[in-house]
Structure 1
């Protein structure tokens, strides 16, 4: 299956020049529009594409070709009725897949009926040799040679035409060496009819008769299991891809028997006109069906009854529309879900216990999985940084897939009973793929997130399809790269401060002092990591020195007359990658941070537009304190005693406490001294001990007065009260002064 969602493609006309149309659909059903949105159909009588009209919910030709003005009364984006679309879809499906097992008429499309995979013979491991037949029509030939196709399919280190690799190398890479898929190329062979004839007449039997009977190919050479069945049969036809009828690239089955060996699954796609047209994307996609029985990971728009298509996994999987990336030259890898289903992974990492983890890009043999209480439902994590096969993705970062082998990518609704087989949890929560808005965009993947990124109450959430909490929590996700680190479980507290300033400062030419711009940070702590963003307009950035100055005066040189004649310096510097910034770790965060910019050479000038700073820091203990000198008499044998309060303005929770008292008294065994927190919590520090000793001049802490432990984690803000009572006759005293010191 090769689906097209709104791509501009070139189509030939029997009577007229080629026309550019926008295509929506697949080999079962498709709709075509002009670039300005008017639906068209191919008028066989005129041999041209003409504007469509609707008759009883069905397209018909208006007779007006697209080179003419739009006829009156025709509106943009005509669609046939739901019933007509379903009728045409099912007619095509029944014609092209007559040998599927007897199941409901449209089951085996995007649902994996075989534990997530399509039914049928699978050859996804070992040495597999396919037969590829190059086909020319009576009226269309190609300049592409069999040698050039052989290189496309089989070569080592293949990079012709900008392809990432050959087809053989692609499957060897994504299968972690488990599938060695090569192809024997035969042809081109010449068919008897013109190309248009084969839009409605499948050419497979005619081509195979020539291959076996005329050329003498022995089909048993392509049966790795010795079962009398051809493993893989591929047809590549001359000319550009025809997105119509039986020439639309597809993968289906046909039962032809030659000398006791029969055909089964086959793949059909275009060869192109010149070598520059050769690309691996569609060939890999269709062989994903043929060899591995991968289902399509997008929506055909029929099984859920709404006939509204959705994008499924978009560009993020070969088996969605990822085969089209970089014009088919750098197809997306097979996603972790499908690799898991065919057993291409050697290692499985479970995330069901809290901890820190890392995922490596391109580690296709490892599956990172979070299991739910339903054996068919789980989450997978994958590093999809824009490198390697992922270079042309719409976004870069950590991918989270919600998987259910009993689901279907027809079911975009996301309900308990009808939901995707494999869905990308789009980090921005927009559900663009489900709502058919795009193939993927920036914000789909989890980029750098310091705090909680995913849980039961985030958007998107990690809830199971029945709405219950799966328990999966992700946080502290690092920036995209070869390695992405993240935390599973309750996130640790992260202290982060960010600030920016629009400096708008001209940079003096060839002046050692340069310019400085300041950002004041109030948070108190020690630097753990630091990131600085710089935006400078300049006509020759090789003149510039840029440095960050910490409040202590320590300097980190960020840019030192580098990059020569390039214009403008717009860059983010991260302590993970820049040694000079890493040297600022453990610096105090509080104070004035400066960006200093100097132009060290003559002639070119510039401006510091703006800059920003982000600091992750480790909290340091802070102290709040107060003292009071009430000099108040303590009444003798009086249970109410005296009180003295110290007001604390700071906010925080008590981590440590120290209280000092100065009481003059002739018999301290009469005294009880206690501390009351702002919330009313009490701690007795002295209780009639010391007998006949004079004066109580003492400092109390957690070790000398264990009762003070009740004050830990109390809010420090408010009035702290010292309460002193004399509970026996004769001796008297004075509460002279006292103080409190709170660490928070």
Structure 2
């Protein structure tokens, strides 16, 4: 048997360069030519980090480097990976019946479900943590805690530059100019001409190939006219070598693809005299929108050769005072659909992260209800992608957002409120103790840009940048599904027509259900009541009304509980650290009367944790109020003597 990459390790190698920027696939079809000349029809489900590849008769395949082709796959005995059987997959024959395909799928379904669970349990915790952290996109800072370093068995923060840094209104609005390079090969010339690609990208009114709009038209629509994203399209660059050289599936997708891109950039600078300073850049003078279209199909196996992907160009190409950063590359085939291009532009232009689950254990919470989930790859929405969710529009500066929490906004509106779908407005209920956590509320009506949504009604999003899109039970953005079934999280579907709130629906700390884990309600992630309560929701319509029920505000602060043995210590929040922009950090510890528990606050300074505040009375009732500068902090609760349970309340 020939070993294939383990799932998480395969993802790790890719995540390191394209964190939170993967292309999703939903039964995507491609053809692959085997070394014996047979052509396989392959369906693909997953993304750039991990995907299931199946022949048309339902059998799983993986690329086998020794065979230099796609081989039938099986699940390894430990359930941790897919491995090659060493047998090249064959093209379908007339003897392959529909029942054959059904039997193959049925036999593999149980193994694969168990396989997804085994990945998490069998992969070393340090690797799992690193992958999960790399997959997160903390959109609130240009420097993020993007991985963990373990020192003396303690997890430490490691600051790296985030590929999805926060975009300001100026960065995500106004006129943004990208570059699209079109490429063909000596043995395969382009069939879609330059003017067609310019129209696909830039026309105000565009309908070719079945599209409802151009890429520019999409962003003008969802931004309320605040972003005008256009692309300069080059003449065709003809590669130095035949296509098979670049499409060689023995190499990962970044090897020969980047060689091709660098060829094209050199040609554009030296032979075409292109002025790269005309392109829009970020604050680091890096080109925002670098797009590569090449002629024909990828002619590669998934994640190999010329397979479409997004990555960072390494080393950088620099000219005219600017440099490259990330790029997207894809095949033109014989027609163009804007969905994937729009999704990837969401990464390049606005720095939005993906909202679907990379590890395949769920469909993510947002599922098909947003462009950074699966809202750009369906049968119809690949031609007319769904809009970004309210939180992303807010980050981009496209929405007027009204704060509803009176603890944040003393002039917050009360009573019956209305919201109009696609109005570039939204409501927000923010956590006073954690300004990175909030609920967003907006009406979604199946018309206009939302015509390809799965449902109409009131959408409620629970946002917390500490979440991970690959943790379906605490994602970065959770959709509060009105039916409380959480079908996408349970890997049942990618959303349906019962997910949005309509007449007779209510949303509170106990409704649609009171579950603190895997539930649908208005609890903060720490289990406290947020105080948000909505009832009397109107029928689904373009403009909807709902009643905001106000009462006694719940107590503020994050609450952590635990039980200490004698001389033991716990690190909070939940064994981790947190980033703080500056201000007062208030800590209250309540422990057992027959023990002496103490409290420390530490800051990450010069590569180690340094104590900045301490409370160590002879009792277990401790408090700290510390005027903190911006930085990374953690809290220690420790037993000087005795044992028992405690409660820690954190206000910041």
Q: Same fold (TM over 0.5)?
A: yes
Q: Any idea what the Cα deviations from partners look like across 1:2-37, whole Å, max 9, x if unmatched?
A: 444551413231455654333222223322123453
1:361 aligns with one of 411, 421, 426: 421
Distance 1:146 1:12, change over 3 A: same
Displacement, 1:484?
1.3
**Cross-structure match for 1:126:** 174
1:456 aligns with one of 500, 510, 514: 510
Q: Any idea what the Cα deviations from partners look like across 1:598-621, whole Å, max 9, x if unmatched?
A: xxxxxxxxxxxxxxxxxxxxxxxx
Partners of 1:290 and 1:350 lie apart in 2 by 32
Q: Any idea what the Cα deviations from partners look like across 1:362-405, whole Å, max 9, x if unmatched?
A: 112x1211223331211111111111121112222111101112
> Do 1:401 and 1:423's aligned partners in 2 also have CA atoms closer than 8 Å?
yes
**Cross-structure match for 1:280:** 338
2:482 aligns with one of 399, 404, 427: 427
Counterparts of residues 231-630 of structure 1 (less than 5 Å): 231-240=288-297, 243-245=302-304, 247-254=306-313, 255-258=316-319, 260-273=321-334, 277-301=335-359, 308-325=361-378, 326=380, 328-350=382-404, 354-364=414-424, 366-373=425-432, 374-413=434-473, 419-447=474-502, 449-450=503-504, 452-459=506-513, 460-489=520-549
Q: Any idea what the Cα deviations from partners look like across 1:534-588, whole Å, max 9, x if unmatched?
A: xxxxxxxxxxxxxxxxxxxxxxxxxxxxxxxxxxxxxxxxxxxxxxxxxxxxxxx
Displacement, 1:73?
11
Partners of 2:262 and 2:140 lie apart in 1 by 29
Q: Any idea what the Cα deviations from partners look like across 1:452-486, whole Å, max 9, x if unmatched?
A: 45443433222111222212222222222221111
**Cross-structure match for 1:22:** 43
> Do 2:446 and 2:455's aligned partners in 1 also have CA atoms closer than 8 Å?
yes
> Do 2:508 and 2:521's aligned partners in 1 also have CA atoms closer than 8 Å?
yes
Partners of 1:438 and 1:64 lie apart in 2 by 29
Partners of 1:263 and 1:193 lie apart in 2 by 25
> Do 1:455 and 1:474's aligned partners in 2 also have CA atoms closer than 8 Å?
no
Distance 1:451 1:106, change over 3 A: closer
Displacement, 1:410?
1.7
Partners of 1:11 and 1:43 lie apart in 2 by 17
The SS at the match of 1:65 is coil
RMSD after superposition: 3.5
The SS at the match of 1:376 is strand
TM-score by length of 2: 0.64
**Cross-structure match for 2:133:** 107
Partners of 2:50 and 2:164 lie apart in 1 by 22
Q: Highest CA radius of gyration, 1 or 2?
A: 1
**Cross-structure match for 1:597:** none
1:175 to 2:223 alignment: yes
Partners of 1:85 and 1:24 lie apart in 2 by 18
The SS at the match of 2:278 is helix
TM-score by length of 1: 0.57
Partners of 2:242 and 2:365 lie apart in 1 by 38
The SS at the match of 1:76 is helix
**Cross-structure match for 1:76:** 108
Partners of 1:196 and 1:444 lie apart in 2 by 47
Structure 2 portions without partners, runs of 5+: 1-20, 145-161, 407-412, 514-519, 552-652
Structure 1 portions without partners, runs of 5+: 94-102, 302-306, 414-418, 492-744
Q: Which structure has more strand as a fraction of its residues?
A: 1
**Cross-structure match for 2:596:** none
1:11 to 2:35 alignment: no
